[in-house]
Copies of this chain bind each other. A is one copy, B any other.
């Protein structure tokens, strides 16, 4: 594989001229440009990003750190990130934390001294304990040697100094609960996402506010905290049933738990939605496959990833522009778990 020197030799020019042709930073005469381009073509030369990186403090790599390479959620986000990355000339390195903040910090640290150009982070740190808070603050001025490394937070607003791409979790929860209210439900249980994190707390908050706005009382014993997984939804539902409280509908904080909820209800002999209705958040394709199909609030997953990558490129261009939070829209999807009129077609596309 050819290097810049080979090109220079072949074209009979100096290496700086080759560099200038490639980077268009300084003007080069047409003749030389021509000769250089021919040499580049002939030798199939492409710049070596390692050499360039050393000099220019840029690697054209961004790191993506997520809790899990989750089956239903992560791929679409990664597609968005990758597509935008490809467009703007960045390669994507991926890291999984398993929800372990220590491992997350390890990955961040690794990326920082890799001279990566930016980080997209779906963090599990929550600013509750002091060490997490220090860690989050450290991200703001996260720097490699002399350059700051921009961080874009995915799905939660980490720090007033960190860009983020999110959805309005409170609103999404409100959309879900409102739908149940409109169906005539007066007693609605909630299978929550982990409450020590923003997503869980905000969706709970949206649930509570929407109930109260409708003149209903919030009842903590109708809430059970899961961990996003389908099985936790199943377990929460079983626990709620054991409490023997009255409710006719369940709002699950995500579709995966919603599916677990449906399974639990069916296993206990309830009809869905006649006895108890269920709605989730995410609008993942499996929700269309179960019977009854699960109503949900759509999250624009691909868009979330794309915008995160886009925000990162903007931040790299203008490190000092004011901090930016992009909030994407959500949308109600009515299926059979809340309404006999809901859609019941399997999603056979895009998976």
Most buried by B among A71, A229, A349: A71
A263 near B115 with CB under 8 A, answer: no
Q: Mark the stretch among A44-52, A162-170, A308-316 that contacts chain B.
A: A44-52
Partner of A113, one of B49, B75, B109, B231: B49
Known: A1-B143, A115-B49, A231-B349. A91 touches B75 (CB 8 A): no
Which residues on B sit within 8 Å (CB–CB) of A327?
none
In the complex the two chains form, what is the Cα distance from A61 to B91 in whole Å?
11
Complex formed: what's the CA distance from A54 to B56 in Å?
Answer: 13
Whether a CB of chain B sits under 8 angstroms from the CB of A295 is: no
Chain B residue numbers with a CB within 8 Å of A93 are: 61, 91-94
Interface residues on A, range: 35 or more
- How long is the Cα–Cα vector from A351 to B1 in the complex, in angstroms? 43
Question: How many Å lie between the Cα of A70 and that of B76 in the bound state?
Answer: 8
Q: Which B-chain residue is minimally distant from A61 (CB atoms)? A: B93
Q: Is the CB of B71 within 8 A of A72?
A: yes
Name the contact of A71 in the complex, choosing from B3, B48, B260, B351 (C-beta under 8 A): B351
A63: min CB distance to chain B, Å: 8
A179 on the interface (CB 8 Å rule)? Answer: no
A94 CB contacts on chain B under 8 angstroms: 78, 82, 92-94
| A81 CB to nearest chain B CB (Å) | 9
Q: Which of A20-28, A182-190, A284-292 contacts B (4 or more CB under 8 A)?
A: A284-292
Q: For A112, give the chain B residue with the smallest CB separation.
A: B1
Question: Distance (Å) between the CB of A44 and the closest chain B CB?
Answer: 8
B114 touches A229 (CB 8 A): no
CA distance A59 to B289 in the complex (A): 43
Q: Shortest CB–CB separation between residue A343 and chain B, in angstroms?
A: 14
Interface residues of A in 278-327 (CB under 8 A from B): 285-286, 289-291
Q: Are B113 and A46 in contact (CB under 8 A)?
A: yes
Distance in Å: Cβ of A3 to nearest Cβ of chain B: 7
Choice from B51, B69, B348, B351 contacting A79 with Cβ under 8 Å: B69
Cβ of A348 and Cβ of B145 under 8 Å apart?
A: no
Indicate if A144 sits at the interface (CB-CB under 8 A).
yes
A150–B169 Cα distance when bound, in Å, is 45
Q: Please name all residues of chain B whose beta carbon is closer than 8 Å to the beta carbon of A69 when the two chains form the complex.
A: 75-76, 78-79, 82
User: Which residues does chain B contribute within 8 Å of A145, judged by CB atoms?
Assistant: 1, 3, 48
Check if A96 is an interface residue, CB within 8 A of chain B.
yes
CB-based contact A234/B348 at 8 Å: yes
Contact A79 B96 (CB under 8 A): yes
28 contacting pairs across A/B (C-beta < 8 A) = A47-B113, A48-B113, A48-B145, A50-B54, A50-B114, A51-B54, A61-B93, A71-B72, A71-B285, A71-B351, A82-B94, A91-B93, A91-B95, A91-B110, A91-B114, A92-B93, A92-B94, A229-B349, A233-B348, A234-B348, A256-B351, A259-B346, A259-B348, A263-B346, A286-B286, A290-B291, A290-B346, A291-B291
Closest 9 pairs between A and B when the two form their complex, measured CB to CB: A230-B348, A231-B348, A71-B351, A69-B75, A46-B113, A50-B53, A291-B291, A289-B289, A93-B93
Interface residues of A (CB under 8 A from B): 1, 3, 46-51, 53-54, 59, 61, 69-72, 74-76, 78-79, 82, 91-96, 109-110, 112-115, 143-145, 229-231, 233-234, 256, 259-260, 263, 285-286, 289-291, 346, 348-351
